[in-house]
Structure 1
Amino acid sequence: MGKPTLLPSKLISQHSRSCTLKPGRCGLCHWHKEKDSWRKRLRNAKWLQVTLKGKVARVGCAACAAFDAGGPWANFDLKPTALRLHCLKRHEDSKGHKLAEQSFQHGTNSRVNLLAPPLSEFRDAWTKMQQGGSCRDGGVSSDKKTNIRWSISEAILDMNRRWLKTAEVIALLRDERKGRLLIRFRACLPDLRVVQGVLGLKPTEGFSESLANCTVEAIHDLCQPMLHPPRSCLDPELPAYDDSVEKRIRERTTILVTDAASAEQLASNVLRGKRPSALTGECEKELPHVKIVGRDIAHASTRLLKRPFQKHAELEAIMDEFISGKDSFCQKVQHSPLYTKWWNEILEKDGKGTEEGGTGASMAAAKHRFGSYAHPLSRVTKNMRCVLTLLHKIALLRDSSGRWASQILTHFSGYKAFLLSLCADAAATSMDFTRFCDDEQSDISLLNTKAQQFLLSTHALFLQEEAFTLPTFAKDLLDSCTRAPFSILIAGQAREVRVRDCDKRRAMNEWVCGAEATLKAEFPSWHLIGAFDVFHLGGSMSDSDKRTVEKSLARLACAFGVNLADLTQQYVAILPMAQAMKKKTGQDNRTAWANVLLRIRDSRLKGKYPQDALYRADTDRRVCAAMGCTLDQAPEKEMLQEARAIYTRLSQSGKSRSSEGRRKRLDFGRKGPMRPSSHKNWMRKRKEAVEEAAAQLITPPRKISSHDLPESSRKEVEQQSRLEKKRKAEAYSDGLLLNSEVTEAVVAEAQKQRKADASNDRARKSNFHSRHAAVEASITKKTVAWALKGLPSPALNTDAAKDLRQASLLIIPDINTIPRKHQLMAALFGKVILSAAILDGGNGVKLSYSAGSQLGVFVYVTDGFRNQEPGLTMILREACAHGWKAVTMNDLQARSKGPKNSCLLLRAKGEALNLGKSRIQCLDGNELVAWAAQKFVDVKSSAWISTGTACGGL
Structure 2
Amino acid sequence: MPDSDVSWLQGYQSSEGLRVGCIACYKLVQQADPGNLPPVASSPFPWFPVATLTGTLKNISRHEKCPGHQQAVRQFWCEAPQDKQLPEEDAAPAEAQWSSLWKVFQSKRYLEQESDQVILRAKARKMMFCLAEALRSRHRVQLRSSECVTLTLDEAKTRLLVRFTSIGQDLKVHRGILGMHRSKATGHQAILASLDHIQRSACTELHEHPQAPSSKIEVVPNFQEELYEHIRQVTQVWNSDAGPDETLAAKESQSISLSVADLRPLLPNIVLVNRDKAHASRRVARRPWLATEELNEVFKAFSKWFSTIEHSSMLQGWHEEFQTQQQDQRKLTTQKSLSYAAHRFDSASKPLATCLLTLPACLLTAIKAYNERRNVAPGQRAHEFLQFVTGAAGAERLVLAGMLADAGDEALILTRAMDRESTDTALIHSEVQSFLRRTQILFVQQECVNVGFCKYMLEEVKQQYVWFDADVPRTIGLPNGIRAASLATCLRKLACWAGVAAKVVGTEFPSFDLMGCFKMFALSDPSSEDGSRQRHCQQLAQEHWEDMARLSQAFYVDPAACAEEYTRLLGIAEEQRRVHRCSNMEAWRLAVEATKRSRATYPLTALRPLLQAYGAFVCSSSGVEQNFSLRDWVASKRRPLSNQHELDHLQIIVAEVADESSLFKEAAHVWMQLYGKPRKSGRRLRGYFKQSKSQDETAPKPLKKWLESRRKEVSELVASATPVQTLDPADVIQEAIDQAGDCWQAKHEQECARQDALVFAKQLEAANKNQLLRHELSNAIAENANLLEDAEAKNRAKRDRLEDKMQLRLSRPQFNLFGMTVHCEAGLFTDVELNRLLLQHHMRLVMGDATVDVFVVADLARASSAFSCIAGLQGSILASCQFLKSGGEVGPAVAFHRALQTKRFLFMSFDFRNEHPLCAAAIRRLTQGNGSTWKTLDTLQDWLRNQIAHAKFASSYLALMTEAEKGEHRQLANHKYAMTLDMFLSFICKVDHSRSALGIGISS
TM-score, length basis structure 2? 0.51
How far 1:185 sits from its partner (Å)? 0.3
Aligned match of 2:53: none
Aligned to 1:581: 576
Question: Aligned equivalents of 1:542 and 1:159: distance in 2?
Answer: 38
* One-letter amino acid matched to 2:410: T
Percent identical among aligned pairs is 23
| Equivalent in the alignment of 1:462 | 443
Q: For the structure 1 residues 116 and 366, does the alpha-carbon distance in structure 2 shift closer, same or farther, using more than 3 Å as the test?
A: farther
| Residues 112 and 648, structure 1, Cα contact 8 Å, conserved in 2 | no
Cα offset for 1:316? 2.5
Per the alignment, residue 610 of structure 2 pairs with 617
Equivalent residue runs for 1:182-331 within 5 Å: 182-204=161-183, 205-232=185-212, 235-273=217-255, 284-323=264-303, 328-331=304-307
* TM-fit CA distance, 1:454: 0.4
Cα distance in 2, alignment partners of residues 340 and 163 from structure 1 = 51
CA deviation profile, 1:347-380 (whole Å, cap 9, x unmatched): 223249998447x321120235575122111111
- Determine helix, strand or coil for the equivalent of 1:434: helix
Measure how far apart 1:592 and its partner are: 2.0
Q: Give the AA of the match of 2:231.
A: I
Deviations 1:814-854 (A, max 9, x none): xxxxxxxxxxxxxxxxxxxxxxxxxxxxxxxxxxxxxxxxx
CA distance in 2, matches of 1:316, 1:538: 41
Q: How does 1:570-609 map to 2 (within 5 A)?
A: 570-600=565-595, 602-603=596-597, 605-609=598-602
Q: Is the 8 A contact 1:469 1:475 kept in 2?
A: yes
Whether 2:619 is the aligned partner of 1:644: answer no
Q: Distance in 1 between matches of 2:170 and 2:363?
A: 59
Q: CA deviation at 1:253?
A: 1.0
| Pair 1:374-2:349 in alignment | yes
Gaps of 5+ in 1: 6-50, 54-60, 76-108, 658-954
Paired residues of 1:597 and 1:615 also in contact (CA < 8 A): no
Who is 2:338 aligned against?
363
Distance 1:424 1:156, change over 3 A: same
Residue type of the alignment partner of 1:266: L
2:377 corresponds to 1:401: yes
Deviation at 1:418, TM superposition (A): 1.6
Q: CA separation in 1, counterparts of 2:67 and 2:382?
A: 70
What's the CA shift for 1:272? 1.7
Distance 1:120 1:282 in 2: 47
Contact 1:115 1:651 in 2 (8 A): no
Contact 2:104-2:114 at 8 Å conserved across structures: no
Question: For residues 556-611 of structure 1, what are the alpha-carbon distances to aligned partners after superposition, in whole Å with 9 as ceiling and x for unaligned?
Answer: 111011122221221122223223333455443222211111222x21x1012211
| 1:299/1:370 contact within 8 Å kept | no
Amino acid at match of 1:453: S
Q: Deviations over 1:32-69 (max 9, x none)?
A: xxxxxxxxxxxxxxxxxxx999xxxxxxx999985556
Offset from partner CA, 1:167-226 (integer Å, 9 cap, x none): 121111111223322111001133222110111122343421111121111100101111
- Counterpart of 1:704 in structure 2 is none
Please say which structure displays the higher CA radius of gyration.
1
Q: In structure 2, the residue corresponding to 1:363 is in which secondary structure?
A: coil
Structure 1 residues 151, 487: CA separation in 2 closer, same or farther (over 3 Å shift)? farther
Provide the residue aligned with 1:437 in structure 2: 418
Structure 2 unaligned blocks of 5 or more: 10-42, 46-58, 72-84, 526-534, 624-650, 682-1004
Whether the 8 Å CA contact 1:370–1:431 is kept in 2: the answer is: no
Q: Deviations over 1:15-41 (max 9, x none)?
A: xxxxxxxxxxxxxxxxxxxxxxxxxxx
Deviation at 1:624, TM superposition (A): 1.6
* SS in structure 2 at match of 1:191: coil
Counterpart residue type for residue 432 of structure 1:
I
Quick check: 2:239–2:619 contact (8 Å CA) kept in 1? no
Q: Is the 8 A contact 1:69 1:653 kept in 2?
A: no
Local SS of the residue matching 1:114: coil
Give the drift of 1:148. 2.1
Residue by residue over 1:679-725, the C-alpha shift from the partner in whole angstroms, topping out at 9 and shown as x without a partner, is xxxxxxxxxxxxxxxxxxxxxxxxxxxxxxxxxxxxxxxxxxxxxxx
TM-fit CA distance, 1:626: 6.3
Distance of aligned partners of 1:288 and 1:389 in 2 relative to their CA distance in 1, 3 Å threshold: same
| 3-state DSSP of counterpart to 1:172 | strand
Amino acid at match of 1:299: H
Q: Is 1:418 paired with 2:404?
A: no
Is 1:394–1:405's contact at 8 Å kept on the other side of the alignment? yes
User: What pairs up with 1:723-738 in 2 under 5 angstroms?
Assistant: none
SS across alignment from 1:272: helix
Which amino acid is the alignment partner of residue 235 of structure 2?
A: T
Residue deviations 1:846-876, cap 9 Å, x none?
xxxxxxxxxxxxxxxxxxxxxxxxxxxxxxx
Report the counterpart of residue 142 of structure 1 in structure 2.
Answer: 121
Q: d(CA) in 2 for partners of 1:584 and 1:435?
A: 28
Contact 2:149 2:167 in 1 (8 A): yes
Distance in 2 between residues matched to 1:147 and 1:500, nearest whole Å? 68
Letter aligned with residue 147 of structure 1: K
- TM-score in terms of structure 1 length: 0.54
Pick from 554, 563, 567 the counterpart of residue 558 of structure 2.
Answer: 563
Query: How far apart are the structure 1 equivalents of 2:521 and 2:249?
Result: 31
Q: Within 2, Cα distance between the matches of 1:281 and 1:228?
A: 25
> In the alignment, which residue of structure 2 is the partner of 1:488?
467
Counterpart among 308, 315, 320 of residue 344 in structure 1: 320
Tell me the equivalent position of 1:387: 362
Q: 1:538 Cα shift? A: 3.3
- Name the structure 1 match of 2:427: 446
Any conservation in 2 of the 1:122–1:640 contact (CA below 8 Å)?
yes
Residues 134 and 401 (structure 1), Cα distance of their counterparts in 2 relative to 1, 3 Å cut:
farther
* 8 A contact 2:165–2:618 mirrored in 1: no
Q: Is the 8 A contact 2:257 2:265 kept in 1?
A: no
Deviations 1:447-480 (A, max 9, x none): 111101101111111111111012x111112222
- 2:660 partner SS: helix
How many Å separate the matches in 1 of 2:678 and 2:429?
Answer: 63
Distance of 2:678 and 2:665 partners within structure 1:
23
1:113-172 deviation line (CA, Å, top 9, x unaligned): 325333344334333443322434459982122122222222221111111011121111
* 1:916-931 equivalent positions in 2, closer than 5 A: none
Could you say what the CA RMSD is over the residues aligned between the two structures, in angstroms? Answer: 3.9
1:527/1:291 CA distance change after superposition, 3 Å? same
Q: Label 1:583 to 1:418 Cα distance change in 2 as closer, same or farther (>3 A).
A: same
**Higher relative CO (CA 8 A, sep ≥ 6), structure 1 or 2?**
2
Letter in 1 for 2:155: E
Shift of 1:618: 0.8
Go from structure 1 to structure 2 and tell me whether the alpha carbon gap of 1:125 and 1:496 turns closer, same or farther (over 3 Å shift): farther
Determine the C-alpha separation between the residues in 2 that align with 1:211 and 1:392: 51
Following superposition, the deviation at residue 110 of structure 1 comes to 7.6
The one of 539, 550, 553 equivalent to 2:548 is 553
CA drift of 1:640 comes to 2.7
Distance change (3 Å), C-alpha of 1:186 and 1:261: same
